[in-house]
Amino acid sequence: MCMEIPALLPVTSDFVFKLIFGDQRNVDILAEFLKSVLDIPESEYDRISVVDPHVKKESKNDKYGILDVKVHTKSGNVINCEIQVLPIPEMIQRSLYYISKMVTEQMSSGKNYEDIKRSIVIIITAYDFVPSNHYHHQFRYRSNKDGTEFTNMTEFNTLELPKLPPTEDSTDLWYWMKFMSVNNEEDLEMLAQRSPQMRKAVGVLKELSADERTRMLYEEREIARRDLMSRLGGARADGIAEGLSNAARNALKIGMSIDTVMNITGLDREKVEAIKAAELSAPC
């Protein structure tokens, strides 16, 4: 009798993405992916570390926390990588805020401006984000006259899964993005032949997909998301502020970011931050 192969967990889930790319044990997978996106020197990957590689609890009831992947390279460059499934209208402003924090947090007491290292943001979206047909964009400060680069100290990279062409384009990045959107065993086996790191990533995805606890946590998270959207619909229809607040509280408990909660509830940042602060300060 053939053993039934469990359905693959989606890499586009922030929870699954973090378990694959945000685990220090898989730092070789992360390094190969970053090499396919960025143009920093190869030596920078000789020693990279995932900052807080565990899924962090944000309140006493949390099973999951902030699910982006933050990395320090050999010379101290800072890279933040995240995957977004739902559109966020203020995504550009949010990204600007994050990269500003990545720069300013380097300036501890006694440090000089020359100590500041590059800050790079990688945003992977499951929806169209940039008004262009290209699936990868790199944004830096450049002159609008002749394209002269002012600095590469801050950089945004956008990767849009819906714009990935159906046939490979001879880049390693195409294969990594294909991996992020893979949904069948045949494609998975094709990808596994690409490189040792891709083979390992495929193996990790299969292990996670076959692990009952991981599947339970993923499914519980997805059920909570769907229930949240349903409750939000009712709260919006009735115009009940308390309903929106409760929905926001539940969203924060399952690890959604403040920005995502703002987007789906319509509450302002001050209100969502107050709800989160109240949860964190609540007695166990």
Length of the chain: 284
User: What does the domain layout of the chain look like in residue ranges?
Assistant: 14-210, 213-281
**Pick from 22-31, 88-97, 153-162, 200-209: least confident:** 88-97
HSE of 174, CA atoms in CB hemisphere, 13 A = 12
* pLDDT score, position 232: 60
HSE of 7, CA atoms in CB hemisphere, 13 A = 6
* pLDDT score, position 228: 66
- Reduced to 3 states (helix: H, G, I; strand: E, B; else coil), residue 81 is strand
Q: How confident is the model at residue 178 (pLDDT cuts 50, 70, 90)?
A: very high
What integer is the mean pLDDT of 36-65?
69
**Pick from 166-175, 179-188, 203-212: least confident:** 179-188
Complete DSSP assignment for 150-196: EEEEEEEEEEEGGG--SS--S-HHHHHHHHHT--SHHHHHHHHTS-H
Q: How confident is the model at residue 155 (pLDDT cuts 50, 70, 90)?
A: very high
Cα gap 192→183, rounded to integer Å? 14
DSSP-assigned letter for residue 282: S
Q: How confident is the model at residue 85 (pLDDT cuts 50, 70, 90)?
A: confident
Q: Where is pLDDT greater, at 243 or 212?
A: 212
- Edge-to-edge strand list for the sheet holding 78-84: 49-50, 69-72, 78-84, 119-125, 149-160, 136-142
Q: Where is pLDDT greater, at 48 or 111?
A: 48
pTM of full prediction above 0.85 = no
Query: In DSSP terms, which residues pair with 78 in a beta bridge?
Result: 72, 119
Q: How confident is the model at residue 59 (pLDDT cuts 50, 70, 90)?
A: very low
**Pick from 48-62, 92-106, 215-229: least confident:** 48-62
Answer yes or no: is pLDDT of 73 > 60. yes
Answer yes or no: is pLDDT of 140 > 50. yes
* pLDDT score, position 126: 92
Q: Which tens digit of pLDDT belongs to each residue from 211-228?
A: 999 999 888 878 777 766
